[in-house]
Structure 1
Amino acid sequence: MEIQIAVAKVTKFGSLESGDSVEIIERPNGGLSVVMCDGQTSGREAKMISGMVVRKVIGLIADGIRDGAAARAASDLLYTERNGQYSVYLNILSADLQSGTIVLSRNNPTPIFVAQDNHIECLTGESQPIGTARNIRPLISEITLTPGTTVVMYTDGIANAGLNISGLGLDICTALEAVMDEENPSADRIADSILGQAIRLDLGKPQDDMTIAVLRIAAAGKDQIRRLSVRLPVPPSQDE
């Protein structure tokens, strides 16, 4: 069995800083976690706040703290730092080898999609952004970690793509179905496909920061080598 994780993101058109922050961390007892935070605006302040939240969460997970408790602690930190005047959306997606499960922790109204055995489920439900009160709890779902499972989570820039231009948004379920019809698509392929469709709906000029994270459980890897690949486009003004 092999855990694949892919993250793809783009900054709001005209903005130099993304308010979305995302990090991947290896869990102390085996597995991987993706922590994704969506600031409520774009730009430097949103980046600073979302980055602070993500760093807090990954630090706690690295210390062995459970995902739900890490999310609550990050919420308390943000509440204290900003006097309850600033909220962010937070997702934690974990492949936990110790429990043999995929754990989905959500303080975000944007749903998470889970594909298994040619069936796609949309996980929704009331959830509250963090930072506006103490001890805000995430909405947690847990599924068995089995080959063939694919989980897709994303920020509201993707969910709202196209709405301000044509009034027609992205149907994530249909987009995921289309790419899953391909023969054994990789996590990278799924993330790039959905993000690409969102950007096209905004006519190539994203109206908000967009981030997507895909976790896919493959039946087996081709070897025992661990790999991490990152691509960071550098704006021309910084590449001279």
Structure 2
Amino acid sequence: MSGAIGAMRSTLDIHVAVAKIAHHGGGESGDTIETIERPGGGFSFVLVDGQGSGRGAKTLSNLLATRAISLLKDGARDGAVARAVHDYLYTYRMGQVAATLNILSVDFQSGKILISRNNPAPFFVLDPEGVVSHNEPSTPIGLQPMIKPVISELEVRPYTYVVIFTDGLLRAGERYGEDIELLNYLSAWPVMDGRSPGELSEMLLQRALELDRGEPCDDMSIVVLAVLPGNEAASIRRLAVSAPFEEPTWPAPM
């Protein structure tokens, strides 16, 4: 028998999970997370932390996230989007208001995971080789002219987890003299078990709440992306959202 047998094509699944909570007594979180399907294939997730807290911070972060999503939808590159959102905020608020901005993308055209970061807080990458903290100096948007994002590129490879977050996670336990020690904590994550990113995001949030004695000192938002072995036979996309809703109190009938 002659001829060659082609290599079996392997597939990967992209999973993303978000966990967030407002600071204790704040009512509404000043963080905003938005997602969009990229015009050339793939997905982008925009995470914005507006300066301050409550309604004002939420209005600001929502405005900036919406602008970023609109530009991404038009096909703008992630780095250009981050610069444009900074320019908008700097002009709109005359350099008086800051915000942090993270754009996490999976670009199917290039086969890359892209992270654009205007956030002093680092992000973490977990893979079979270990945990890496990407903590290159990064400046929030809005306060100075000509601010640029720190851009990182990763290969889309199985058993890779990317963790981005707002600074509230790092501040967990601060008032009690404790440190969340994220690098050590993430080092214990069993990467090769292929667990869902939802498990990791919930674990991190619960750890932060424990350190803050159940009363978070700041808004916290965590986004976890995981690349895991997939099922070639079923090209199904799913999106699930869970959020609390406080039922309004209606006046009793007359």
Quick one: which amino acid aligns to residue 103 of structure 1? L
Q: Hey, what does 1:108 align to over in structure 2?
A: 119
Instruction: Find out whether 1:212 has 2:222 as its counterpart.
Output: yes
Q: Residues of 2 paired with 1:41 and 1:77: CA distance?
A: 19
Q: In the alignment, is residue 195 of structure 1 matched against residue 205 of structure 2? A: yes
Call closer, same or farther: CA 1:13–1:182 in 2, change over 3 Å: farther
Letter in 2 for 1:18: S
Matching residue of 1:168: 178
- Residues 73-114 of structure 1 show CA distances to partners (whole Å, capped at 9, x for unaligned) of 001111111111001011111111111111111100101000
Amino acid at match of 1:186: S
Normalising to structure 1: TM-score of the pair? Answer: 0.95
- Tell me the residue number matched to 2:153: 142
Instruction: Name the counterpart of 1:128.
Output: 139
What is the aligned partner in structure 2 of residue 21 from structure 1?
A: 32
Deviations, residues 211-237 of structure 1 (Å, cap 9, x unaligned): 00001001114732111111110135x
Normalising by structure 2, we get a TM-score of 0.90
SS of 2:70's equivalent in the other structure is helix
Superposed CA deviations along residues 124-161 of structure 1, whole A, max 9, x for unmatched, are: 11111101133311001111111111100111110110
Say whether the 8 Å CA contact 2:102–2:119 is kept in structure 1.
yes
Instruction: Answer yes or no: is 1:178 the counterpart of 2:188.
Output: yes
> How far is the alpha carbon of 1:181 from its aligned partner?
5.6
Structure label with greater radius of gyration: 2
Unpaired segments ≥5 residues, structure 2: 1-11
Task: Write the letter of the residue equivalent to 1:213.
Answer: V
Deviation readout 1:171-228 (Å, 9 max, x if unpaired): 1122222333682210111111111100111000111000000010011147321111
Tell me, what secondary structure is at the counterpart of 2:189? helix
Out of 55, 74, 86, the position equivalent to 2:66 is 55
1:29-108 mapped onto 2 (5 Å cutoff): 29-108=40-119
Identify which range, 180-189 or 27-36, moves more after superposition: 180-189
Assess, with a 3 A threshold, how the Cα gap between structure 1 residues 239 and 233 changes in structure 2: closer, same or farther: farther
User: What letter is aligned with 1:201?
Assistant: L
1:239–1:191 distance in 2 versus 1, CA, 3 Å: farther
Give 1:10's aligned residue: 21
User: Sequence identity of aligned pairs in percent?
Assistant: 44
Residue 95 to residue 239, structure 1, CA distance change in 2 (3 Å): farther
Q: Is the 8 A contact 1:113 1:123 kept in 2?
A: yes
> Matches of 1:210 and 1:180 in 2, distance apart?
24
Name the count of aligned residue pairs: 238
Work out the CA distance in 2 between the residues paired with 1:156 and 1:180. 25
Q: Which 4+ runs in 1 deviate beyond 4 A?
A: none
**Paired AA for residue 196 in structure 1:** Q
3-state SS of the aligned residue for 1:93?
strand
Measure, in 2, the Cα distance between the counterparts of 1:117 and 1:239: 51
Shift of 1:118: 3.8
Cα root mean square deviation, aligned:
1.5
- Asked if structure 1 preserves the Cα contact closer than 8 Å seen for 2:68 and 2:81, the reply is yes
